[in-house]
Structure 1
Amino acid sequence: MELLESDEDPRVTEDLMYEKVEDFKYLSAILSTKNDWAKGIGIRISKAEKTFFALTKLFRSKCLSRKTKVRLYTVIVRPTLTYGCEAWTKTKQIEKRLRTFENKIWRRICSPIYDKSTGSWRRRYNNELLDMVNIPLVTSFIKGQRIQWLGYIMRRGKRYC
């Protein structure tokens, strides 16, 4: 679905002239004429990565428990990642990117495990990570946020819709 289908000259309103653009940034979200959120979500993921790596010393610290590190993630990094998620168009590709990012973070927090059968270190499997951190997936969190937002809109009444 394309929001602006015409290739007309710039729109003129009173004394202002607006040109047609493919996408623009509004309140830290990238809005496009094709209603494609992939670019904006990519930017959210990179901002969350920067936030996580700015706190690398904390996440690598042996003084902090895994529970504290998970709490830091949920309080600092996840809100950076999910800012504005209520309006995102959900696709399988976007879900996969979000899960990949989150698994990457969990692997950094939970560190590798020594496998006695092979005698070497290995990465933890996704289901092991989920059991260890014991919080909802980022995709489930986003679904919950969208439902809360819908409830808010429904309670506002018909005069605002």
Structure 2
Amino acid sequence: MIAEKFLAKNQMVFCAFMDLEKAYDRVDRDLLWQILNSFGLSAGLIQALESLYRDCSACVRINGVYSDWFDIHKGVRQGCVASPWLFNLFMDSCLQNLKVEKCGLRMGELTVKCLLYADDQVILASSAAELQMMVTLMNGSLKERGMKVNASKTKVMVFEREESKTICEIRIEGELIEQVDEFVYLGCVFSRDGRYDKDIERRVNAKNRVNGALHSIVKSQNVSKKARMAIHNAVVVPTLTYGSESWVWQKKHESKINAVEMRSLRSMLGLNLNDRVRNCVIREECGLQDDVVTRIKKGMLRWFGHVERMNEERVTKKIYVAEVNGRVGKGRPRRKFIDQIGDLLETGQIRSTLNRRGCMRRCMDVKEARAVCQDRQMEICSLCLPLWVTGVSVYGMV
């Protein structure tokens, strides 16, 4: 969404996807306790956490043979429920130097400098020079705390609308960082042009790999149809729809996703295209009310409602409502997420609830949908119940 807003105003976004080497194992525990104290945690709680890490030792098993035991003085415990919280606080302290600098992307009154999920971090800047300064500052902050940036896995990308590629040379301690046209971050593909084609293609390919892995199971005569559909809903569909709530897609994407789902369902029923069985009959046989495209559209509307109701102080909401300064570039404006929501409201025949007579003639617009999102208890008469052609009511939207 950040790239979408800047590209709409014909501005570039410079990104550095920084990878940390053995991040969890490099946490300095003595420094961690000091950081917890600086955040205001009570002495008793800090002592309790320290007791979990006191006298830690481990050994290595190789081919059934155990090595000698050795003490461990660094890192957080793998699998412990407290470890993610401790690591997040540790990483937050690494961002302190970055917070005081006047840099990053300006979005209205908000400045976005870094996106951080565990050890997966993205540095955002408005120019190559600014990005170099921020990367150097972040690398120094991490190095002071015993962390190490893996320069070979760290990548740089520039979001831009122009076909000609802008060169962005970023170095970490003299080593040139590779610039890429696409990058997988948190399981989603981000492309330099800001489009979702590569991410959708990746989802389709992942779904095909899952189908191949499950082929022997779904083809087995010992597995009931109910079990096959349970596998389909629990494994196949989530693989295909991961991250789809924020997609901005086209008709060709809908057709591709729908086709790959039908191929899977035909395989489960032992059918092929030569059998000439209609898609609606196959879904009815499988007990599916909605196809995967409809599920994705529902997810988009749910995400829209979720963000609309979000607290105004949350960063996600601030980015969602923020406006970027600049002029719209030449040519046809790109479709944005909010444009797609408007299309879903119209093509899904979610009718207006403003009055009994008017709601029979026109569909709900985005402005009214936002009001509905804020008021879940809105009274709607039976004639005004906004139904999708697929049977989704207005409450399915929120």
Asked if these proteins are the same fold (TM beyond 0.5), I'd say yes
Q: Contact 1:86–1:146 (CA<8 Å) still a contact in 2?
A: yes
1:159 is paired with a residue of what secondary structure? coil
Instruction: Please say if 1:134 is aligned against 2:287.
Output: yes
Which protein has the larger Cα radius of gyration, Structure 1 or Structure 2?
2
1:36 is paired with a residue of what secondary structure? coil
Residue 13 of structure 1 aligns with an amino acid whose one-letter code is M
Instruction: Please say if 1:50 is aligned against 2:205.
Output: no
Aligned pair partner of 1:28 in 187, 196, 200: 187
Query: 1:89 matched to which residue of 2?
Result: 248
- Greater share of residues in helix: 1
Q: Contact 1:86–1:142 (CA<8 Å) still a contact in 2?
A: yes
Structure 1 vs Structure 2: percent identity of aligned residues? 23
Aligned pair partner of 2:312 in 138, 158, 161: 158
Instruction: Please say if 1:103 is aligned against 2:277.
Output: no
Instruction: Please say if 1:13 is aligned against 2:143.
Output: no
Cα distance in 2 between the residues matched to 1:19 and 1:53 = 33
Deviation at 1:123, TM superposition (A): 4.3
The TM-score with structure 1 as length reference comes to: 0.82
Question: Which digits, 9 at most, give the CA deviation of each residue in 1:11-57, with x for residues without a partner?
Answer: 32332695534322211111123221111111111111111211112
Q: Contact 1:24–1:32 (CA<8 Å) still a contact in 2?
A: yes
Cα distance in 1 between the residues matched to 2:157 and 2:195 = 20
> Aligned in 2, Cα 1:158/1:9: closer, same or farther, shift over 3 Å?
closer
Instruction: Please say if 1:147 is aligned against 2:301.
Output: yes
Q: Contact 1:31–1:37 (CA<8 Å) still a contact in 2?
A: yes
CA RMSD of aligned residues (A): 2.5
Cα distance in 2 between the residues matched to 1:54 and 1:80 = 13
Q: Contact 1:99–1:137 (CA<8 Å) still a contact in 2?
A: yes
Cα distance in 2 between the residues matched to 1:28 and 1:38 = 14
> Aligned in 2, Cα 1:19/1:73: closer, same or farther, shift over 3 Å?
closer
Q: Contact 2:157–2:192 (CA<8 Å) still a contact in 1?
A: no
Q: 16-25 vs 93-102, which deviates more?
A: 16-25
Q: 1-10 vs 45-54, which deviates more?
A: 1-10
Residue 182 of structure 2 aligns with an amino acid whose one-letter code is D
Q: Which runs of 5+ in 2 are unaligned?
A: 15-126, 140-155, 159-179, 318-398
Q: Contact 1:107–1:124 (CA<8 Å) still a contact in 2?
A: no
Q: Contact 1:111–1:123 (CA<8 Å) still a contact in 2?
A: no
Query: 1:72 matched to which residue of 2?
Result: 231
Aligned pair partner of 1:60 in 191, 195, 219: 219
1:62 is paired with a residue of what secondary structure? coil
Q: Contact 2:183–2:190 (CA<8 Å) still a contact in 1?
A: yes
> Aligned in 2, Cα 1:151/1:9: closer, same or farther, shift over 3 Å?
closer
Q: Contact 1:107–1:129 (CA<8 Å) still a contact in 2?
A: yes
Q: Which runs of 5+ in 1 are unaligned?
A: 114-120
The TM-score with structure 2 as length reference comes to: 0.35
> Aligned in 2, Cα 1:13/1:126: closer, same or farther, shift over 3 Å?
same
